[in-house]
Structure formats: structure tokens, C-alpha cells
Amino acid sequence: MRKIISRFGLIYVLILFVFSGVAFAQENSSDFNVRVRAESANVRGAPSVESQPVASVFRGDLLQVVSRNLDGSWFEVRRLGRLTNLGWIFGKVIEWDFQVEDLPLGDFVTGVIGPTPLTYRPEFGVTTLQGASLRDRPSRSGTFIRNIPPLITIPVLERNQDGTWLHINYLGFDGWISGAAVRRVPYVLEIPEAAGLPPLETLRVVVIPVEIQQAQIDRLREFILARRELAYNLEIFWWAVFRGEVMPCDAPEAVAKYPYTAQDVRELPELQRYAPRLGTAVDYLNDALVPFENCGVTPPQMVIEARDGAINARVIFNATLDLVDLLEEDVVQARR
């Protein structure tokens, strides 16, 4: 009888364990899986190259992600089916198909360089699509603190009244960034609103004929689609090269940035937000063309960097295209 009770007690403890500390990771295991793309990689005890390795993984290994670090460049992982975490792996050596900001923040200490480190784990995060200016208040007239890099995931503490500005903490630097610089956040109004903010700034509204705005959107979309296709093809091309395939060295021409004038911005004010991020995507795309300058045997690291450039460009093009589609739906089509 005592043995039966012990067995049931053990099962009860296991059930409690699964449905407590690891419930989030277990329920979302299929959503947050990654695959190792490097020949081999170290898993470390903390999200830093200075941290000691605790395990090794190899090409093709499938891992489950548990959390992210302060800038979304490291992932805390475990092996599939395990209840204990393995350690931290650098994002450059893995592949994934989910939004990093959907992961919980696991480490908010490692890598802090600013004067205001976090004291708790914020529930929300955002991924920057372009460089952003960190300011001391939610306004373009706010005092500049520092630049925030593109394509990183950062904790969000609060928002302003309409979610157009976000209160973030970047590696210990506390301030506000424009919501236009980050990937669209469908739940932005669920983020806590900061207290004691001044009234929202109001701007003089100029009504532009819908036909003119539609023409601008069509031109912008055509630009994005063509370059997104190039980024996708380069991603496949460099992956084939990395796997040892011999590919033709037919270099595409360097990509020019989106051309627009002050008049274009007057006709479609959103260009002022979209064009800089497209410029960043074009820079990444041109990085993916660099190895073509010297045809022949290309070092694996250069191939990986070219593929990374193509991937980064594609991500930005996709996100900007989503914004353009929303703009057409919410603004242009609504006025027809």
C-alpha cells in the first residue's frame, strides 16, 4: 500500500511541475523550435560569448526555445522533450520561424551597459525594423539619448496614449522610441499606459486626393516586391553555396535606394517612415552581393554573412510590405 501511495505521489509531483514552471514552454514547444544551421555551435551558461560553454550542438539539431535575452540576439534553449534548460545559443547559428518578441524575457542582467538596468521582466517586447532615436519623452522634440540599432528585440515597459510611442529599456538605457520604428504590434493597447503624460501633439491635417495616394502606394509596393524577390533568391543561392553546390557567378547589379522627393512625402506622408527602413533593407541586400565581386572559392563565413544580409533584407521588405497593405486598407480604401 505504501508503494502505491509513493507512486501516486510521484505522479502528482510531476504533474505539478509540468503545469507550473514549464507550462508556457511546453504549451508552445511547436511554436518556438529552432534548427542549428552551423556545423557545430556552443551552448553557453549565459547569453554572452564570454560565458563558458556548457554543451555542444550540431547542424540539423532541433531545439526548443524557452526565452530571449535583452536584445533578442541570444536564445535560451532545451532539447526537445526535456524539462531542464540546456543554456544559451547565439541567434546567428540557428534558424527559426517565429517572432522573437513573442518569447518571454529570460535574462535581463547579462550585457547591461546603461545606467538604468531593469529590475523586473517586462511582459512585452518589440522588434525594431530600422534604427530608432531613444528620447527622454514620447515626442520628437524630446532630448536625444542614443541610437537604437535595427533588427533587435527589446523590452517594452509602457506606451503613450495611442501607442505611437513606446517606453523601452535597451541594455540599461531607458527612454522612448517611435512606434513607427518597430514591427507592427497588434496588441499595442494592451501595453500599460504611462501615467502623467502631456496631451498628444496635434498636427494640421492636409487631405490628399485618394488617387494620388494610391499611385504612390503602387509605386512603393512595386519597388518592395522586386527587391524582396531578389533577397529571397540570394538567400537560396548562398545557402546552396554554403552546402557545397557550385553556382554560377552572375552578379546582379547593386541595388539603389528608394527614390522619393519632398513632394512624394506630401502626397504620402508615410514615406518619411517607410523609406529609411527600406534604405536599411537595401544596405543588407547589397551586403549579400559583396561575394560576387570575387568569383571563385568563397570563404564559408563570407557566404554566411551574405545569406544573413539577404535574410535581414527579406524580413524588412516583408514587414514594410505589410505596413503598405495596411495603409492601403485603412486609409486609401476607406476613403473611396
First to last CA, the chain: 77
> With a cut of 50, which residues of the chain have pLDDT below it?
1-29
Report the 3 state secondary structure along 99-157: CHHHCCECCCCCCCCCCCCCCCCCCEEEEECCCEEEECCCCCCCCEEEEECCCCEEEEE
Q: Cell digits for 134?
A: 531613444
Would you state the pLDDT for residue 244? 85
Domain 28-98 top-level CATH class: mainly beta
Would you state the pLDDT for residue 313? 95
* Pairing between β-strand 33-36 and β-strand 94-96 as defined by DSSP bridges: antiparallel
Q: Cell digits for 227?
A: 527587391
Q: What is the pLDDT of residues 57-101, one digit of tens each?
A: 999 999 999 999 999 999 999 999 999 999 999 999 999 999 999
Q: Cell digits for 295?
A: 568569383
CATH topology of domain 124-190: SH3 type barrels. (2.30.30)
Would you state the pLDDT for residue 335? 63
Would you state the pLDDT for residue 221? 96
